[in-house]
Structure 1
Amino acid sequence: MSATRQLGPYGSWRSPITAGAIAAGVVALGQIQLDGEDVYWTELRPEESGRSVLVRRGPDRVIEDVTPPDLNVRTRVHEYGGGAYLVRAATVWFTNFSDQRLYRQDRGSPPRAISPAADLRHADFELDERRGRLYAVREDHTTGSTWPVNSIVSLDPHGSSPATTLLAGNDFYSNPRLSPSGSHLCWLTWNHPNMPWDCTELWVAEMADDGGLRAQRKVAGGAEESIFQPAWSPAGVLYFTSDRSSWWNLYRWRNDGVEPVVEVAAELGVTQWVFGSSTYAFASEDRIVCQVRSKGVAGLAVVDTKAGKLEGLELPFTAYGATVQARAGRAITIAASPAEAAAVVAVDLETGVVEVLRRSAAQAADGSYYSIPEAIEFPTEGNRTAHAFYYPPLNPDHSPPSGELPPLIVYVHGGPTSAVSNALDLSDQFWTSRGFAYLKVNYGGSTGYGREYRRRLNGRWGVVDVEDCVNAARYLVERGLADRERVAITGGSAGGYTVLRALAGTRVFKAGASHFGVTDLELLHSDTHKFESMYDQSLVGRWPQERELYRERSPIHSVDRITAAVLILQGLEDRVVPANQAELMVEALRRKGVPVAYLPFEGEQHGFRMAKSIKRSLEAELYFYSRIFGFEPADPIEPVAIENLPA
């Protein structure tokens, strides 16, 4: 930080938060499990070609890699994965990404494959020590049918005998969980066209001595109810979260009935995009530690299960990863704040003392370069209110010329049934420290604001999200916080779709960056993976009865209305939004004469994981905005070819 501020236009400020530092210095922390005194979690490492590594921290506080460098702990069940490993008594079972085989690794020994060399994918594991079986969700791609077959299977944990099927017939399964006594198994299931946040069912069955199931019964769920994270208490009472009250709250099943444990106007669960998510854990039979989300901000609380009371803990965090475990009076979770990047932390439930076990990011700059977001509520269509986080431009070394307003980037999250938080993300600070205002929008349809808000997008995808992003931008412009002639919109996946819809339907945005975004809803319906293959039925309309609506809302058919410059970035191995979506859009924009740049990324799937791709995509987007908005970046950047750009 210099003693004297340098005068320079917004966008041109030099920042220590470089794309290279972000790509090399940040890891994504994942699912936590406890085994005795050891704490395990996963780390997605961009510097290692985006592979996911299983890590262990022992009681001596030494952190070491568990899985070897040639393996990648990542499952492709539902394509989004999650729940890729299980650890018990120092033995680890995990799915390897490249071959999708299940491996067993005993401490001190190398991993060995225990599933066949076939396209049989596994996730969400549960060990039955009494019967010597390993239960898992299986996605079978060997049947030759249009879609893979999902089931819950019973596996030999040594790989010595073939698997048997416990449950099949429905479209999807998750969360096979064994009661402490081993007498019962619970699970979640749902069918097309539902997503797990729309409608799921919780089932329980008795376990026979031979490992079979009997006396199956539905406990909760069904139409208009989403169940999340069933878990058995130490005494064998079945708990779960349900949104039957319009909020994901905590319930339990006992004495053949369902009863609420605690009722609050906040979310105690999350959308089940991946396996292995958890938002609560048992500290004891009478105490549950849980994450609580409200209006985009999260906290940690303790629930007294006898009194039905929830008491928040005073902690310095505002965002949590959906993974939490409890042991010996401490909660182990992933937490962050506007000034602290995500970290694996241990929280003393009595004193609130926090111990950081592992940080996700090295300190790229001191805190004076970090823009602290402000939560804003703004008016939108239908006399409704929507939500966002506003980050003002901030760099202690630079000041703008008098009277200049900053360019604004509106960020649209993916999903679309998801949300953004106010956690410190160096990718956000990359922009604010260069002189951009940055706005992360939790448009109608986002999570964390209750079921009614979440369902605003039903039948209105490409409409409500666009309206909210437009109104969010106008809200800042009208308050003199951004230059109305330099407003851009960016987003990935479903967010990329919103970017393109906004460019076609409004003149508010002068530039847009679509990262692996949907361009053709008709094509997506016929060319995507099973998990989301009928997601569009709730977001858009019934197929094929409302096919014309799909066409109307597809950006590929609205190119004639796009005048703003467009940057499209796409992973060439994407199975969720295949590369042909981007390629068709780029060709249409070329023919129309719209300024367009296209960056394909070899070896990348849905979301960029490799350091070189992360670095290139950030710098390319900065270069793109510099050409459109007319400023000179502080550092040399590899150019991006922008076709049809006027001289």
Structure 2
Amino acid sequence: MQLAPFGSWKSPITADAIVADSIGLGSIVIDGADIYWLESRPQEAGRSVIVRRTSDGKNTDVTPPEYNVRNRVHEYGGAAYTVVDGCVYFSNISDNCLYVQDLRSEQPQQVRQLTHDKKKRYADLSVDTLRHRLICVQEEHDSADFEPLNTIVSIDIAKPDDIQVMAGGCDFYAAPRLSPDGSRLAWLSWNHPNLPWDGTNLQVANIVNGYLAAPSLIAGGANQAIFQPQWAGDDTLYFVSDRTGWGNLYCWQGSTVKPVHELEAEFGLPQWVFGMSTYALVGNRIVCTYTQRGVWHLALINTLSGHLTRLNVPYTDISNVRAAGNLVVCCAASATHANEIITIDLLTESREILQRSNRLKIDPRYFSIPESIEFPTTDGNTAFAFYYPPTNPDYQPLLGEKPPLLVKSHGGPTAATSNQLSLKTQYWTSRGFAVVDVNYGGSTGYGKAYQHRLDGKWGIVDVDDCTNAALYLVRQGLADANRLAISGGSAGGYTTLAALTFGDTFKAGASYYGVSDLASLAKDTHKFESRYLDRLVAPYPAQADLYQARSPLYFTDRLSCPIAFFQGLEDKVVPPNQAEMMVAVLKAKQIPVAYVTFPTEQHGFRQAENIKRALTGEFYFYAQIFGFELAEEIEPIQIDR
């Protein structure tokens, strides 16, 4: 082992290898004996491709090269395709239109366009085989002067100009689900100022002549969030509700709602995107995943007895759960396994990996194994995080040296981080950084009370928890108090900027498409999040003074540490002017600042070269600020001083 300062260790986990061998995985669909999923490929400019796994064990691309299977409903999209009897229906991001591709035909690569109006976007697709129609959520962008119009519509597959509105009048819709016999539809709706994790309505209605008759409210309300309604073969409707303070499974059988199994755990997720799935029905059992204290478990629930049996699988982050017969398909990851699409046979408990998100072969000795920590924070509360120690079998630090610490603040903020293997995190730890990934107050997975800890206190609770995580590790002798950095994207970028502006614990930071002016966010952002800050901060503009008091942009006189900004210029969620206003002030103060832009990126980076540039750029920035030597050549980013 070589003696070398923290931060200057050479690692086989390179940015080139990460982007060259990494893909995103999700959106699983089962159609007969075939399994489908989406792959997001940075090497193809972030294109999303439908992949088909046939019964002979072969993976084949379905989507022709000129198509990109995504949508921008609610801007974040999701559930951009479905498959029924070998026919693939999908949304193409470049024109927002729907297409169909019949894999049973003599020309399976031939694609037929269904819709033509580029101002209309579609998500949450399902097929009404009885009526030969598509049912989906439609978002219509007719005028820049008005909010987009959201509805549930049905589209005649043979005559796609025939579009019928089935449900309208609410601000938002999601999860239109047909009953097994096609006679009824269940769906979710909600209105401003709520987001779907605040409160939603679950309704059911009969379908009469293609329209919905006499809708009934089954569950939900302004303060009860419903997640993933799903019909069973006997017309029982299952769903997740947080009515008790925990997101548990319930069922409705035409008259009453009953709990399936009550547990202080979360069986649901915040619905940032369409089509999320944490459970599937297998006869009289439910295969489900749930989280407790940031760790996900896979289990079976007997719907007759309510008994829960945990399955013994080596995964701690499980999502996209689907099932057909006794075969379960899901996305799964752990501290030593990057995200994979796997199958589990419930009869034999055998598992098969269908696809890996990364094929990079690395000696696991280079992996830092996260430790789940609880630490004291403001007002006598406890917060949670995953701590990753610096790990590299080729190096040991200088005697008495403490490592630099990178505090990660997740986006959302209504979301959570997990302990699944992230090569981006390992990029830091294998070079001699400690990392702590914080599930600050407001994060999901710890119950509704913990999630509501951020209500009215965004920019306070999250900042305090990230700061206290760093100070806790300093007290434990696990981090250098003079080399503490904080980094985050989107909402995590706001937490980063607020921590750097309103406190002096951190000595540097990096903001990825982060918010610097809350009022600008409230005025400029898209419909889905346009009232998000009513709960997190206060109603705007009635309490505009509070927005200014929480905005880093107006208190840059307090800044005295360097910041790097990474921004997509096509970002509609957090527009570039949020970063540019902050950069201009820092330049005027002659505080070291870097501003790295990506002209073709939106909210979040999808293209391989840009992902690499941001990761290495942030590392280069800290090397210059903290003064350690680089063990490898990195393309510099411009730092204005």
TM-score normalised to the size of structure 1? 0.97
The answer to whether the aligner puts 1:68 opposite 2:68 as a matched pair is no
* Aligned with residue 307 of structure 2, among 295, 306, 309: 309
User: Alpha-carbon deviation of 1:359?
Assistant: 0.6
The answer to whether the aligner puts 1:609 opposite 2:630 as a matched pair is no
* Aligned with residue 385 of structure 2, among 383, 388, 403: 388
User: Alpha-carbon deviation of 1:255?
Assistant: 3.8
Q: 2: distance between equivalents of 1:51 and 1:462?
A: 34
The answer to whether the aligner puts 1:233 opposite 2:232 as a matched pair is yes
User: Alpha-carbon deviation of 1:472?
Assistant: 0.2
**Aligned residues, how many?**
637
Contact 2:569 2:575 in 1 (8 A): yes
Structure 2 residue matching 1:590: 3-state secondary structure = helix
The answer to whether the aligner puts 1:214 opposite 2:210 as a matched pair is no
Q: 2: distance between equivalents of 1:480 and 1:364?
A: 33
Question: Which deviates further from its counterpart, 158-167 or 449-458?
Answer: 158-167
Runs of 4+ in 1 over 6 A off after TM superposition: none
Question: Which deviates further from its counterpart, 451-460 or 346-355?
Answer: 346-355
User: Alpha-carbon deviation of 1:639?
Assistant: 1.1
User: Alpha-carbon deviation of 1:160?
Assistant: 4.2
Q: 2: distance between equivalents of 1:534 and 1:235?
A: 39
Contact 1:177 1:187 in 2 (8 A): yes
Corresponding position of 1:201:
201
- 5+ residue gaps, structure 2: none
User: Alpha-carbon deviation of 1:593?
Assistant: 2.2
Letter in 1 for 2:226: I
Letter in 2 for 1:279: T
Contact 1:95 1:122 in 2 (8 A): yes
Corresponding position of 1:590:
587
Letter in 1 for 2:443: S
Letter in 2 for 1:287: R
The answer to whether the aligner puts 1:630 opposite 2:627 as a matched pair is yes
Structure 2 residue matching 1:341: 3-state secondary structure = coil
Letter in 2 for 1:239: Y
The answer to whether the aligner puts 1:30 opposite 2:29 as a matched pair is no
Contact 2:115 2:160 in 1 (8 A): no
Corresponding position of 1:119:
119
- Counting only pairs closer than 5 Å after superposition, residues 63-462 of structure 1 correspond to structure 2 as 63-107=59-103, 108-143=108-143, 145-208=145-208, 210-284=209-283, 286-321=284-319, 323-462=320-459
User: Alpha-carbon deviation of 1:353?
Assistant: 2.1
Q: 2: distance between equivalents of 1:275 and 1:217?
A: 23
Letter in 2 for 1:398: Y
Q: 2: distance between equivalents of 1:143 and 1:608?
A: 28
Corresponding position of 1:46:
42
Q: 1:161 to 1:471 in 2, by over 3 A?
A: same
Corresponding position of 1:58:
54
Q: 1:587 to 1:159 in 2, by over 3 A?
A: farther
Q: 2: distance between equivalents of 1:271 and 1:434?
A: 34
Structure 2 residue matching 1:42: 3-state secondary structure = strand
Q: 2: distance between equivalents of 1:167 and 1:329?
A: 35
Q: 1: distance between equivalents of 2:509 and 2:165?
A: 48
Q: 1: distance between equivalents of 2:524 and 2:274?
A: 23
Q: 1: distance between equivalents of 2:57 and 2:570?
A: 39
Q: 1: distance between equivalents of 2:366 and 2:169?
A: 54
The answer to whether the aligner puts 1:562 opposite 2:559 as a matched pair is yes
- 5+ residue gaps, structure 1: none
Q: 1: distance between equivalents of 2:50 and 2:134?
A: 19
Q: 1: distance between equivalents of 2:158 and 2:241?
A: 36
Structure 2 residue matching 1:414: 3-state secondary structure = coil
Q: 2: distance between equivalents of 1:364 and 1:610?
A: 22
Q: 1:160 to 1:254 in 2, by over 3 A?
A: closer
The CA RMSD measured in Å over matched residues stands at 0.9
Q: 1: distance between equivalents of 2:392 and 2:462?
A: 31
Letter in 1 for 2:272: W
Corresponding position of 2:487:
490
Q: 1:517 to 1:160 in 2, by over 3 A?
A: closer
User: Alpha-carbon deviation of 1:320?
Assistant: 1.4
The superposition leaves residues 36-66 of structure 1 with CA deviations (integer Å, 9 ceiling, x where unpaired) of 0000000000000001000000000100000
Q: 1: distance between equivalents of 2:9 and 2:249?
A: 48
Q: 2: distance between equivalents of 1:328 and 1:121?
A: 33
Structure 1 residue matching 2:228: 3-state secondary structure = strand
Contact 1:232 1:238 in 2 (8 A): yes
Contact 1:115 1:159 in 2 (8 A): no
Q: 2: distance between equivalents of 1:555 and 1:131?
A: 54
Q: 1: distance between equivalents of 2:158 and 2:398?
A: 68
The superposition leaves residues 9-56 of structure 1 with CA deviations (integer Å, 9 ceiling, x where unpaired) of 110111010011111111010110000000000000000000100000
Structure 1 residue matching 2:588: 3-state secondary structure = helix
Structure 1 residue matching 2:529: 3-state secondary structure = coil
User: Alpha-carbon deviation of 1:638?
Assistant: 1.1
Structure 2 residue matching 1:316: 3-state secondary structure = coil
Letter in 2 for 1:386: A
Contact 2:410 2:416 in 1 (8 A): yes
* Aligned with residue 515 of structure 2, among 495, 514, 518: 518
Contact 2:18 2:360 in 1 (8 A): no
The superposition leaves residues 127-181 of structure 1 with CA deviations (integer Å, 9 ceiling, x where unpaired) of 1111111101000002554210000001012344321111111000000000001
Question: Which deviates further from its counterpart, 157-166 or 528-537?
Answer: 157-166
Q: 1:120 to 1:160 in 2, by over 3 A?
A: closer
Contact 1:104 1:158 in 2 (8 A): no
Letter in 2 for 1:615: K
The superposition leaves residues 278-314 of structure 1 with CA deviations (integer Å, 9 ceiling, x where unpaired) of 1110111x10100111100001100100001111101
Structure 1 residue matching 2:195: 3-state secondary structure = coil
Q: 1: distance between equivalents of 2:137 and 2:464?
A: 39
* Aligned with residue 548 of structure 1, among 539, 545, 548: 545
Structure 1 residue matching 2:527: 3-state secondary structure = coil
Q: 2: distance between equivalents of 1:305 and 1:77?
A: 34
The superposition leaves residues 188-233 of structure 1 with CA deviations (integer Å, 9 ceiling, x where unpaired) of 000000000000000000011x211111111110021000000001
The answer to whether the aligner puts 1:535 opposite 2:532 as a matched pair is yes
Q: 2: distance between equivalents of 1:569 and 1:607?
A: 10
Letter in 2 for 1:570: Q
Letter in 2 for 1:306: L
Q: 2: distance between equivalents of 1:448 and 1:76?
A: 26
User: Alpha-carbon deviation of 1:443?
Assistant: 0.1
The superposition leaves residues 449-468 of structure 1 with CA deviations (integer Å, 9 ceiling, x where unpaired) of 01000110010000000000
Contact 1:21 1:364 in 2 (8 A): no
Contact 2:99 2:112 in 1 (8 A): yes
Q: 2: distance between equivalents of 1:50 and 1:252?
A: 39
User: Alpha-carbon deviation of 1:529?
Assistant: 0.6
TM-score normalised to the size of structure 2? 0.98
User: Alpha-carbon deviation of 1:506?
Assistant: 1.2
Contact 1:492 1:516 in 2 (8 A): yes
Letter in 1 for 2:593: V
Structure 2 residue matching 1:24: 3-state secondary structure = helix
Q: 2: distance between equivalents of 1:352 and 1:475?
A: 41
Q: 1: distance between equivalents of 2:113 and 2:522?
A: 35
User: Alpha-carbon deviation of 1:256?
Assistant: 1.1
